[in-house]
Amino acid sequence: MTNIGLPRGVQDIMPEEVDIWQFIEETAREIFESYNYKEIRTPIFEFTELFVKGTGDTTDIVIKEMYTFLDKKGRSLTLRPEGTPGVVRAYLMNKIYSNNIPWKVYYIGPMFRYERPQAGRYRQFHQLGIEVLGIKDPIADFEIIKIALDFLQRLKLSNLEIDINSLGCIKCRPYYKEALKEYFFSVQEELSEIDKDRLKRNPLRLLDSKDENIIKLKEKAPQSLDYLCEECKEHFEKVKNYLDMDNINYKVNPKLVRGLDYYTRTVFEISTNLLGAQNAIVGGGRYDNLVETYGGPSIPGLGFAIGMERLIILLSKLGINLKNKDKKLIYFLIPEDKYLKTAIDLSQYLIEKKFKINIGNPNTSLKNQLKIANKIGADYVFFVDSITNENKIKIKNLSTGEEKIIPLNELSLELETMI
């Protein structure tokens, strides 16, 4: 037992749990790739400025949740708190925009936020995300929501709530922000010092405050939908029409603002009432100015991210047991070194036939090897010493206890019944 332990908010994913992680990752890859998205792997740490400018210097993430440190040359680096800024940076650095075609990517990996840990909220957590760059039309908003749902449905999750809202664009949002400022200014004596500061810097951030008092005040606050310009209204109508066309149930939630600064127009969340306070599983939206914020051309973008830990908690709460169809495990009983070569040759063949193999240790007794085979959950044992001049092998099925002696030239046929 070590006395070193783990920092708060991080956890091991132990071999017993890894099946479900791999299953979810494989399902995500399959779904995202079937919509023609390709995987991107961006670095775990980036220059701090990337998140300050992108995620936004008025967000909780940037103000208090980043793991920021200086490297040996005094440059400020940050462990990525989210995937979107890195993807947009890669898009710009590689001048993908010069192709003039939409760019669709997905990512899977760890993110880091210094939050107060609780069930479903960690300091290192994992996201599955997609980003689309270069499509301004509402069809893309519909597509990403559809992809998130397809993925969740593939995991047998239903009865999730989809909330959508529109935050307007750089043209109409200033009017909305002004109205919000006016409203919160009129009740400013009820605001904490932190919230007064938020009001000055970005009144939108008051709307995602978890403070009880603000939650009450929010009830009467102006709503972005009432301030949308004609283009934003039309865009939002079309997103809703597409969702209706596909019979996707959603709720327009005028209170949904999402805690990141880059969003424009559509924002959405998919949540469940089974996870307590940390109920959002998917969060996403449009960010039509982010590429420009980083000094690039005017290119619209949008995407979402799914929290894997929350997904796994939900699956286990619902008793949904998803596992990869596991390969069968064959354990070779090796009485002496002289049988090793036979086992190794045969194991190569079995691996090609999609079995897992475990070669016994000839330095321990056969009895002990058999005990281990049972303990590790082997499906079959192969008695290598039974491969005699007659070219036959003895196979034991450990779950039924049945034993068979099979001529080697019939092994391939036998293997088909063992899968």
Other C-beta atoms lying within 10 Å of the C-beta of residue 30: 11
Task: Please name which of 387, 378, 381 lies closest in space to residue 341, comparing C-alpha atoms.
Answer: 387
138 binds ligand HAM (CB under 6 A): no
Dihedral angle computed from the Cα positions of residues 91, 97, 34 and 243, in that order, rounded to the nearest 10 degrees: 100
296 binds ligand HAM (CB under 6 A): no
Cα dist from 324 to 24, 33, 254, 347, whole Å: 9, 19, 40, 22
42 binds ligand HAM (CB under 6 A): no
Q: How far apart are CA 4 and CA 115, in angstroms?
A: 22
- In single-letter form, the type of residue at position 315 comes to L
Is 253 or 342 the residue whose CB approaches ligand HAM more closely? Answer: 253
Cα dist from 115 to 66, 120, 192, 266, whole Å: 9, 11, 20, 26
- Of positions 51, 310, 383, 411, contacts ligand HAM by CB under 6 A: 310
Contacting ligand HAM within 43-82 (CB under 6 A): 82
Q: How far apart are CA 77 and CA 75, in angstroms?
A: 6
Task: Please name which of 86, 304, 291 lies closest in space to residue 77, comparing C-alpha atoms.
Answer: 86
115 binds ligand HAM (CB under 6 A): yes
- Of positions 113, 173, 240, 265, contacts ligand HAM by CB under 6 A: 113
- Of positions 282, 290, 291, 370, contacts ligand HAM by CB under 6 A: 282
125 binds ligand HAM (CB under 6 A): yes
Contacting ligand HAM within 225-264 (CB under 6 A): 260
- Options 19-27, 283-291, 323-331, 347-355: segment touching ligand HAM (CB under 6 A): 283-291
- In single-letter form, the type of residue at position 361 comes to N
Backbone angles phi, psi at 8, to 5 degrees: -60, 140
- Of positions 54, 168, 296, 307, contacts ligand HAM by CB under 6 A: 307
- Options 157-165, 183-191, 281-289, 345-353: segment touching ligand HAM (CB under 6 A): 281-289
304 binds ligand HAM (CB under 6 A): yes
Minimum distance, C-beta of residue 144 to ligand HAM, in the bound complex (Å): 8
Minimum distance, C-beta of residue 74 to ligand HAM, in the bound complex (Å): 28
Contacting ligand HAM within 356-415 (CB under 6 A): none
281 binds ligand HAM (CB under 6 A): yes
Q: Which residues contact 416 (CB under 8 A, 6 or more apart)?
A: none
Minimum distance, C-beta of residue 316 to ligand HAM, in the bound complex (Å): 15
Is 287 or 380 the residue whose CB approaches ligand HAM more closely? Answer: 287
Is 284 or 362 the residue whose CB approaches ligand HAM more closely? Answer: 284
- Of positions 56, 86, 222, 303, contacts ligand HAM by CB under 6 A: 303
Q: Do residues 267 and 285 lie in contact, with contact meaning Cβ atoms separated by under 8 Å? A: yes
Q: How far is CA 231 from the centre of its chain?
A: 32
Is 172 or 282 the residue whose CB approaches ligand HAM more closely? Answer: 282
By DSSP bridging, strand 76-79 and strand 68-70 are antiparallel
Cα dist from 214 to 99, 187, 208, 253, whole Å: 46, 10, 9, 17
The residues pairing with 392 across neighbouring beta strands, listed in sequence order, are: 407
- Of positions 40, 164, 217, 305, contacts ligand HAM by CB under 6 A: 305
Residues in the chain, total: 419
- Of positions 29, 121, 146, 328, contacts ligand HAM by CB under 6 A: 121
- Options 116-124, 178-186, 224-232, 333-341: segment touching ligand HAM (CB under 6 A): 116-124
Residue entry with tokens 């935050």: 167
Footprint of ligand HAM (CB under 6 A):
82-84, 113, 115, 120-122, 125, 127, 129, 131, 260, 280-285, 303-305, 307, 309-310
